[in-house]
Amino acid sequence: MRDRHTTETVAERYAADRYRPADARQAVERAVAGRRDADGTPRCDAAALSDAVLVASELTTNAILHGGGITDFRVDLVGPGVRLSVSDRSHDLPVAVPPTDDRGRRRVGGRGWPIVCRLAHDVRVADLPAGGKCITVLVPLS
């Protein structure tokens, strides 16, 4: 028997100047909350939801801190996962930085992109025609 997976867009769009990581976390929670079996049982465990919320938070935080601000955010339920897309104003690619500097001192920050890459599948970075970039990831929910 073949599983049937559907794509359902459940994103809310916000004006770029009003979007915050907390909004992204709430959007993911709302989208996944509606994902239930016929008997009402949630089709996502708490750990998978936590991963998706964390990835959304890291992507939006990085867009604000390193990408000149968020220009778009989308949440799409796709088959057994959730696709997150965050657009920003920068063409610069995300980078992972070592946890210590060249003198061996611990760095503050720099852990967001490695977290995203570890928890998400199918990580894509694309330039946008009007400028900036869009990072799209798929976070498994099972």
Residue at 1 is within a domain: no
118 is a domain residue: yes
Instruction: Kindly state the average pLDDT of the residues 18-39.
Output: 84
Q: Is residue 2 part of a domain?
A: no
Instruction: Tell me the pLDDT tens digit for each residue of 62-90.
Output: 999 999 999 999 999 988 899 999 999 99
pLDDT at 3: 46
Domain count, the chain: 1
What the block records as the tokens of 88 is 């920003």
Q: What angle do CA 70, 121, 47 make, to 5 degrees?
A: 90
* 12 has pLDDT over 60: no
Note whether residue 56 is domain-resident.
yes
Q: In angstroms, what CA-CA distances link 141 with 87, 106, 138?
A: 22, 33, 9
Q: What is the mean pLDDT of the chain?
A: 85
Quote the pLDDT of residue 142: 83
Per-residue pLDDT, 16: 52
pLDDT at 6 > cutoff 90: no
- Full residue range of the structural domain in which residue 53 is found: 7-140
Tokens 């601000």 appear where? 69
Residue 126 forms beta bridges with which residues? 134
CATH number, domain with residue 105: 3.30.565.10
CB atoms within 10 A of CB 23: 16
- CB burial of residue 106 (10 Å; 0-12, 13-18, 19+): exposed
Helix axes 112-119, 46-66, angle to 10 degrees: 140
**Residue 38 placed within a domain:** yes
Residue 19 lies in a domain: yes
For 66-78, letters b (16+ CB in 10 Å) and e give: ebbebbbbbbbbb
- Compute the 3-state secondary structure of the chain and give helix, strand, coil in percent, each to the nearest 5: 30, 25, 40
- 3-state secondary structure at position 131: coil
Q: What is residue 98's predicted lDDT score, i.e. its pLDDT?
A: 80
